Amino acid sequence: MKRNVTIKNGELHLGGVAASALAKEYGTPLYVMEEDVIRRNMRAFRDSMKEFYGEGLVCYASKAFCCKEIYRIANSEGLGVDVVSLGELYTAHCVDFPMEKVCFHGNNKSEEELRAALEYGVGRIVADNLPELRQLNEIAGKMGKKAPVLLRIKPGIDAHTHSFIRTGQIDSKFGFALETGEAMAAVKEALSAENILLLGVHCHIGSQIFQVDPFVEAARVMVGFMADVKDQTGHEMSDLNLGGGFGIRYTDEDEPVPFAGYMGPVSQAVKETAAARDLRQPFVLIEPGRSIVGEAGTTLYTIGSVKEIPGIRTYVAVDGGMGDNPRYILYQSKYDMLMACRAEEEPDGAYTVAGKCCESGDLLGENVPLAAPKQGELLAVLATGAYNYSMASRYNRRGVPPVVMTKDGKARLIVRGESLEDLVKNDL
């Protein structure tokens, strides 16, 4: 396993706290987030913006992992955030997140969401389609405000990733297409709309991408489009939001590019294209989500039944599953796993790790190498910090597990687990 894990006396430690101590205090399943890893990733992105562009804004894509504490941390590191719903916006508002650093996304924002974005004073609303742009113009007019807008553009880049998380191609529910002239028409409409302040353009080509080229190509296309806009309308937009999507290591098969490996070539493409087209260097925003929180997270489970089906496979069932981690059932995602208290022991075989929901597809992994897992032992699933807690469900009426943050040998609860009373509190 190439991942950096901290093992002391044979036991996995997270932010300096032993896995068994965490399980004992908070129970399992348990989401554990390591604060130092999150802050290190945030700083790496922030510093590379400064290095490669001189300025710019890193907006943490909060859909990857959203709760009050992550907004506090993002704020203390000087980051902005992306939100995609009233719920995320409200959570950020609850901790006084500076609203001018918030980007509001979504392909079907409700009237309530658009109004809230304007009321809160969100810095950038990313308009996805013409009806939304018109509705926003109307709402802003009624509120006596100007809506700061970026237009979401489909740059026509096909990133090599799972089709469910690919978003840059023309056949996508997100944004305005370039090839068809739809994007230019939207720009012209935005410029003529009385209550819209067109700041720039946005693209996000997909997620868990390991190649640099699609990002470079997207940057070229986007700056080229900004230049086309200037040529055709005389309007020079300031903002270029290049989205997120940087791949992380889930298993040894994944080879992530270091952040600077993207930022260098992409910034060069931005600067060269701008210079060639007689455009000022735009104010660049990026929106990493997974790459900030993914590898900071670990989920701890207790193993229950171990069921060997001779000649076929051995099922290792844990006390969580698709409710706390739906990524396997959604995308057959792979994870590295460890016996948390015997973390240095060599695997003795490959196992199928199953959850406890009433679905055969409720697995956390197949062919997972593990060291003789036994009932009652702790299993750690690594790199679960992104799109696990935020995608959790209450299927089978199992409450969403708690989240703890660890740092310097201490753990603190940042999201309480759902109790039985929580599960029935809205039932009438």
The contact set with ligand PLP (CB under 6 A) reads: 61, 63-64, 82, 105, 204, 207, 243-246, 287-291, 386
The verdict on whether 67 is a catalytic residue reads no
Indicate the residue among 218 and 339 with the shorter CB distance to ligand PLP. 218
3-state secondary structure of 355: coil
The candidate with the shortest Cα–Cα distance to 360, out of 397, 400, 315, 390, is 315
259 in Cβ contact with 246 (< 8 Å): yes
Q: Would you state the structure tokens that stand for residue 250, as one six-digit string?
A: 């889930």
- Measured from the Cβ of residue 181, the count of other Cβ atoms closer than 10 Å reads 10
Indicate the residue among 282 and 373 with the shorter CB distance to ligand PLP. 282
CA 250 to chain centroid, in Å, comes to: 14
CB of 382 to ligand PLP, least distance (A): 17
Virtual torsion, Cα 158, 163, 167, 173, nearest 10 deg: 130
72 in Cβ contact with 91 (< 8 Å): no
Indicate the residue among 65 and 328 with the shorter CB distance to ligand PLP. 65
Write out the DSSP string of 270-294.
HHHHHHHTT-PPPEEEE--SHHHHG
Indicate the residue among 29 and 206 with the shorter CB distance to ligand PLP. 206
> What are the helix (H) ranges across 77-194?
86-94, 111-120, 130-143, 182-192
CB of 405 to ligand PLP, least distance (A): 19
Indicate the residue among 292 and 341 with the shorter CB distance to ligand PLP. 292
- DSSP at 164: G
Active site residues: 358
